[in-house]
Structure 1
Amino acid sequence: MPDITLDDAQRIVARGRAAAEAAGMKAVFAVLDKGANLVAFSRMDGAWLASNELAIAKARTSVMFQAPTEVLNAPLEVGKPVLHFDHIHSGGLLLVGGGVPLFDDDGVLIGGLGASGGMPEQDAAIARAAVAK
């Protein structure tokens, strides 16, 4: 079964860093394999420390649901209670923009990317740029 390679993960991180720099952001990037194991991690100088865990949680969520985290966030309504997966899944899942699943050319899941450093919309944009071919 296919999985993300370290070389591909590092290329994704490099594209994400370039997108973050172009947007004037300092971000953290985490690439996980299809089993939600860390393959590559990068924290830009000056990025928030909290973004370390947030990027990993976004990547994990995108792997577990095989969907961008911003799509999973869509049913949530402002002012309504938010479902927190930390209480039911020890690994922590996060339903805000910045996580994208990674698929091979045949549409098979090979991993996920999480980006964190700005507002969820900004994180989603740099994550999409990172995985664009």
Structure 2
Amino acid sequence: MSHPTITLEAANQIIDAGQEKARDLGLNAAFVVLDAGANLVAFERMDGAWLASNDLALAKARTSVMFEAPSEALNAPLQLGEPVAHFDHTNGGLLLMGGGIPLFDTSERIIGAVGVSGGTPEQDAEIARAAAD
């Protein structure tokens, strides 16, 4: 049985669209595209992007594919006296801030995720949404 997946060609198109949006915002960013199993399909870091953005983009993409949701949607505000959800000790790392967007096929089955890092979480989320469109 074949599982839905993202092609390298589609991953590259997503990254290209994301880089165009990053340039529009005056940012340099790192981009990760994962398949539905959280395996790396494509990675690019724009010249001048922070080296830390590599790991951050990967963690955002992993978060989105694992929860089938935008990474920022999982970032609930802190409430005093309440437990804080954190995933800093998970295998591979997850990151609950903007910049990760799940990718779905035309049948609404998850095929992967894109992760972006290079600006604020809000800017990264804006770039990721543009990349995924």
TM-score between both structures, scaled by the size of structure 1: 0.93
Q: 1:127: which partner in 2? A: 128
Q: 1:49: which partner in 2? A: 51
1:101 aligns with 2:102: yes
Q: 1:36: which partner in 2? A: 38
TM-score between both structures, scaled by the size of structure 2: 0.93
- Unaligned runs of 5+ residues in structure 2 are none
Q: Which amino acid aligns with 1:100?
A: I
Contact persistence 1:76–1:82 (CA under 8 A) = no
Q: What CA RMSD, in Å, does the superposition of the two structures yield over aligned residues?
A: 1.4
Structure 2 counterparts to residues 1-133 of structure 1, below 5 A = 1-73=3-75, 75-77=76-78, 82-87=84-89, 89-132=90-133
Contact persistence 1:98–1:116 (CA under 8 A) = yes
C-alpha displacement of 1:84: 2.7
C-alpha displacement of 1:2: 1.1
Contact persistence 1:98–1:115 (CA under 8 A) = yes
- Unaligned runs of 5+ residues in structure 1 are none
Q: Percent identity?
A: 62
| Partners of 1:81 and 1:19 in 2: CA distance | 36
| Partners of 2:119 and 2:85 in 1: CA distance | 22
